[in-house]
Chains A and B, each alone.
Chain A
């Protein structure tokens, strides 16, 4: 089942790559071949938002007593890990595209700035998860941190947009891409989004299963330790 999932992901990524690299036309107004980066950039950005949305939802389910289960905590962590990687990719790819197109690696554009803030917010979230307390403690703290981070994003976006509009040095985001979009380009973008979503699902599944195995190992060690202790000390006093 998982193998089929992986195969589908790889095939769809391959199709996307073929279209992105050879079928779609280069664009003179966007640095010729640099435009092909957008087939990576747009889907990675979408995955980042999707991943953090899943993390927030899973955290909410963990906090709600009736649906509380270790599964949600592990899913939240797995999704955030993939999300941070894709946020980082989004920033790097955007930067690579921006250099030939805008002539600069970085613009203090609203979307760029908010994405960078997002990256650091969830980096902090992942660091919090790795501080090694009990599973319940980690679940509680990280779930609350995830919700605060998720709520902080719209406020950050708002402030950064205001910052741009009031502060006249901002560069207007180049939106010419959407004006005239080639048929093959549109198809490639859709294919890229679909295949990257599959990739996201596969990566989260892998990370989730690994986390489960780690937790399972800890639980087994725990049970063994208790059994040993009871055996070692039980001879001393007979229970009544």
Chain B
């Protein structure tokens, strides 16, 4: 991710269930690393992280089952169609193939469902990432620069997904440079600078969605 340099050093953050937390901060501050860490993709070098009540160091696979990450890449296969990619995600995470069609409809990709992933535009790829995340019905949704490449309609889709998250029992953490758009969606903003979290965390109640104070392996 960030080469050999620990992207996060002494970051402390608690996110409550149902919150929409905006992570802001300069490039290379560690936002992406924090999101990948919460997704269970990075191992901790020091400290502790608990996601949805599950210790990340002990049961990373359980964390992965319960979260979804929309990253810079789609994690998809170029030679498979849009529908096949989403169905693979659905079936590999223990969901039904029918859920895939619902997710595609929700992000407005049903018309390109039979087009190969390699032929999609940047904005369509971003929507596909959102569909891949929705099909997993995650308790924690991690969005890394979700606005990038999205057109007006795409942004409306994104807003709808984030706004309906609390009703769907979903916590959202999003990293963005589109601060105006992102602030409209967020219930709280946290600034990350040089791998450290700067904000006043609310008192942590029981049942926090994410409890973390960590330093990932670079």
Contacts and interface: CB of A to CB of B under 8 A. Distances in A.
Tell me, yes or no, whether A binds B.
yes
Interface residues of A, number: 16
Interface residues of B, number: 17
A218 B5 CA distance: 10
Contact of A239 (B6, B26, B196, B218): B196
A226 B9 contact: yes
B106 interface: no
B97 interface: no
Contacts of B217: 134, 136
A127 interface: no
B4 A218 contact: yes
Nearest to B3: A134
B198 A233 contact: no
Interface in B188-218: 191, 193-196, 198-200, 217-218
Contact of B5 (A225, A233, A234): A225
A134 B5 CA distance: 10
Contacts of A239: 196, 198
Contacts of A233: 26, 29, 193-194
A28 interface: no
Interface string A174-212: 000000000000000000000000000000000000000
Contacts of B26: 233, 236
5 contacts: A134-B4, A136-B217, A233-B194, A236-B193, A237-B191
Interface of B: 4-6, 9, 26, 29, 43, 191, 193-196, 198-200, 217-218
4 nearest CB pairs, A to B:
A233-B194, A230-B194, A237-B198, A229-B194
